[in-house]
Chains A and B, each alone.
Chain A
Amino acid sequence: MRYHPLTADDRVRMLGRIGAAGIDALFRDVPASAVVPLSAFDLPDTKGELEVERVMARMAARNMSAGSVPFFCGAGAYRHHVPSAVDHLIQRSEFLTSYTPYQPEIAQGTLQYLFEFQTQVALLTGMEVANASLYDGSTATAEGVLMAQRVTRRPKAILSGGLHPHYAETVETVAGLSGKVVRAQTMPGQAEDLASMIDGETACVVVQSPDVFGQIRDLKPIAEAAHAKGALLIVVVTEAMSFGLLESPGAQGADIVAAEGQAIGNGLNFGGPYVGLFATREKFLRQMPGRLCGETKDADGKRGFVLTLSTREQHIRRDKATSNICTNSGLCCLAFTIHLSLLGEEGLTRLARLNHARASALADRLAKVKGVSLMTDSFFNEFTIRLSKPASSVVDALAEKGIIAGVPASRLMPHEKVRDLLIVCATETNTDEDLEALAKGLSEVLS
């Protein structure tokens, strides 16, 4: 086996030094009844690299990859062009094959990029501090709710109806255990009265903007309403590219920002791994979940970085920790940080404008198709349309024609009233030909 350096002769000599008669002697604590022969496993035997590639390439070929067709899915995962340098750099051995930087003397590479990442996330979100990432946007949102419950010592979380349903379900699963989670219902274009739901038991209000339908939400009124009753505002962002164009959550009064960072630096990957961004105000620092990297000095007085405030974490505090989180999204943060460093202020701003321009052009074009009406009046790069037929059957029909038209709202929320709604996204990757193909395809299927 190409990955195993020990030879048969090495094994014999090693067993000799150990003084064991054979390999079985090393497993003598295993109850005899639990030892099984290799034949107990109905699995194939070892394969060479070429054979593995063949098997896996065959599976991959059964998928319609986004880059091979006109493609318009968003709803929490976004297709952007990632510069080649990003993928090359994250595959450097020293980044790819290192462990969590618990030995800072030989992990300054990881620690410094985490410090850069934390700074970038704080700047984008308009918040004072950010952590070194969580698993993804949905788990970051759940952690935000738990943190708000700790900070306010109140049980209730109010979730906007515009929050991505997968995120809402993740919050309910985790925060519903010890607290109470209330979900508002909303339809695209409809206002929801979250303010009237806030009471003295409310720990936080969770609002996504742009929301799952693509609608940009004005967060200031809800921030004021929450703060007036001592509750926190958690702002969720699933499309990190929107930070380049829209007013930051921090500037609108957010207390916690939980976001999905996939859109910057990371591919679609069928849903994971992604990278959860988490930022808050300095005064809540010690209630924050996840790893934090901080600046310090070494014995020679040189600047260096370490993981810090780990007394919040599981490996020190065990059952008193702020969260059970151990792993973060290291390599995905690195991809995020490198892509954002390449873009810079100028590149990010331009790219965000380009995204909005593409989506606007698509909205204008689709609005002219018979049987299509636009449901979202302000958006970043995705919006919702109402079709004259059920959206999932339209999407299936267009997939037959080699067009991935978007995400039917019914895929996310199984309600009859969203049956005809389609969430459509356009980014810099969509050409004019793509937009035209979707418009033409829709008019054929809807006629």
Chain B
Amino acid sequence: MTMNRQGRPSAPGTVEENELPTISGDRGLDHEEGLIFELGREGMTGVDVPDVQMSETRLGGLRRKGPIGLPGLSEPEVVRHYVRLSRQNYAIDSGLYPLGSCTMKHNPRLNEKMARLPGFGDVHPLQPQQTVQGAFALISELMRWLTTLTGMPAVAMSPKAGAHGELCGLLAIRAAIEARGEKRPRILVPESAHGTNPATAAFAGFTVDEVPATKGGHVDADALEAKLGPDVCAIMLTNPNTCGLFEPRIIEMAEAVHKAGAYFYCDGANFNAIAGRVRPGDLGIDAMHINLHKTFSTPHGGGGPGAGPVVLSERLAPYAPLPLLMHDGSEFRMIEHADAASGGAKPFGRMCAFHGQMGMFTRALAYMLSHGRDGVRQASEDAVLSANYILASLKDVMSAPFGEGPCMHEALFDDSFLEGTGVTTLDFAKAMIDEGYHPMTMYFPLVVHGAMLIEPTESESKESLDRFIHVLRTMALEAKDGKKERFEGAPRLAPRRRLDETAAARKPVLRWRPKDLPQAAE
């Protein structure tokens, strides 16, 4: 080791020295953290609650007899536990998160603050309607933004996520078909679709018929038209599609679908590429869900909660589910029962309790008001520009199956550039973790081999994109040069190495159980 004259190391230690096991098992800022059930002790609590006397005469003899088995911890212990856990996560706040199709854009903190205003966060869904007129005004304003941006006349606000929105859209379509006295059991879904599309169609009781993709990565419009018939209820199509391409024949496809008496459902997961430039209503779409947690930046929160309002065409609007927000000229009314609905409304049912994801509505509206229509359009343009910049900067070293471009908000690569290197898409993606990046979406869409889908979003600076491009170029060149060390067994520098998912599925351990019962009983 290099030392200075005082005997103090003047250069970082060697790798072997860094790998000396520590006494604690922790390594600097990286702490190993046990489960909450392995911490704590009996009788402790982190919340001071008075111990009140209580009569048991009103419990119907059903008072809990045994203990639950929860551990007891003080507040500082709980705070430290969850702070330590948080540090094992990658997040958009800490780095570029290029997950294609997931839209990991910046989550403004203003939106969090707005959702926590007592007038929004501390109101009950069933308190008298005259006491929540501001909440209705907020929902109404968000509805105005969504219908204006999409060019659609109506929107159902209650679906709780994208897939829930898909179900809502299909149920509205089903109701419209039934109102015509028809039965149409088949739904057409392109093979490039998100998994939720065929799952939702099956969930809603339809059979799924796949439509192939063209060599150019678009839906095969001719194959689609050939499949249309009197038994087809709807097509579910994502636009821009999951290959990151706008469907150039979409208007033509919509016309064919309508001519066949079917409806056009659009998966709006990728609306963020076109918001402020293109109105889905102008394309002939009948229903489209909007993932507020993608396009309108409500935080993903490690997997939820989301929100999936569904915009509806004139033909589907009457079938929107309960509840329905109305304005009678002087104030807002929330219609909560089918027999109170007026004006030709024939709601198909109810998607969930109450009125939808209000906390997400507040955040999304704060995002929209901040951006304005000009900012929304700029966001779409910057997202598309950044994706094309990545495509243009990497297509000579990575293989882009539809590489001539332009793409929309995400750039798709396949694994042919890795052919013969012994490095797989998975190895390549996992090696990105050691470089400080979250991997891109892998093996999706299914229409290309070893897919890598990169969505930078509008939230990255050019410097950030350039650095990312430099890292990926270098990795691609190293892989081609046969330098496999970086890829084999990656990641090495994350809180965990690759995890054994096969073992997890073969003998599922889905909860903690006390291991040392005999000692505990002492």
Contacts and interface: CB of A to CB of B under 8 A. Distances in A.
A211 B102 CA distance: 39
A393 B393 CA distance: 67
A315 B71 CA distance: 36
A317 interface: yes
Interface in A326-342: 326-332, 334, 337-338, 340-342
Contacts of A85: 46, 75, 78-79
Contact of A41 (B122, B148, B246): B148
A361 to B, nearest CB: 10
B83 A123 contact: no
Of A270, A271, A292, A341, most B-chain CB atoms within 10 Å: A270
Contact of A52 (B60, B366, B504): B366
A364 B94 CA distance: 55
B118 interface: yes
B369 A52 contact: yes
B330 to A, nearest CB: 14
Interface in A50-67: 51-53, 55-67
Contacts of B354: 76-77, 166, 270-272
Given A245-B59, A345-B68, A83 B46 contact: yes
Interface string B449-493: 000000000111110100000000000000000000000010100
A156 interface: no
A356 B54 contact: yes
A190 interface: no
Nearest to A120: B70
Given A294-B509, A304-B496, A269 B121 contact: yes
A387 to B, nearest CB: 15
B457 to A, nearest CB: 10
Contacts of B90: 94, 98, 103, 106-107
B78 A95 contact: no
Nearest to B500: A296
B310 interface: no
Of B46, B49, B72, most A-chain CB atoms within 10 Å: B49
Contacts of A417: none
B301 A18 contact: no
Contact of A63 (B46, B132, B460, B500): B132
Interface string A1-43: 1111111001101110111100101111111011110101111
B346 interface: no
A124 B277 CA distance: 50
A34 B89 CA distance: 41
B405 interface: yes
A283 interface: no
Given A245-B64, A296-B503, A308-B508, A428 B304 contact: no
A177 B205 contact: yes
A79 B64 CA distance: 23
B353 A76 contact: yes
A306 B104 contact: no
A97 B299 contact: yes
Contacts of B167: 174, 324
Interface in A104-137: 104-110, 112-113, 115-116, 118-120, 122-124, 129-130, 132-133, 135-137
Contacts of B195: 313-318, 321, 326
A18 B400 CA distance: 14
B282 A11 contact: no
B351 interface: yes
A297 B303 contact: no
Interface in A166-225: 166-167, 169-170, 172-174, 176-178, 216-218
B358 A116 contact: no
A218 B112 CA distance: 42
A345 B67 contact: yes
B510 A294 contact: yes
Contacts of B107: 96-97
A360 B70 contact: no
Nearest to B68: A123
A377 interface: yes
A128 to B, nearest CB: 8
Nearest to A79: B124
Nearest to A6: B382
A395 interface: yes
B40 interface: yes
Contacts of A56: 114, 117, 120, 138, 362, 365-366, 369
Interface stretch (A227-235, A347-355, A436-444): A347-355
Interface string B78-110: 110111011111111110010100101011101
Ranked 7 nearest A-B pairs via Cβ: A60-B119, A271-B354, A62-B134, A173-B349, A271-B125, A331-B301, A378-B60
12 contacts: A5-B460, A10-B461, A19-B392, A56-B365, A63-B135, A103-B438, A115-B510, A132-B303, A135-B352, A298-B498, A338-B82, A346-B42
Given A18-B388, A61-B134, A327-B293, 14 more contacts: A18-B392, A46-B374, A77-B354, A98-B91, A99-B438, A109-B85, A118-B511, A272-B125, A296-B501, A314-B198, A314-B199, A325-B164, A331-B305, A404-B124
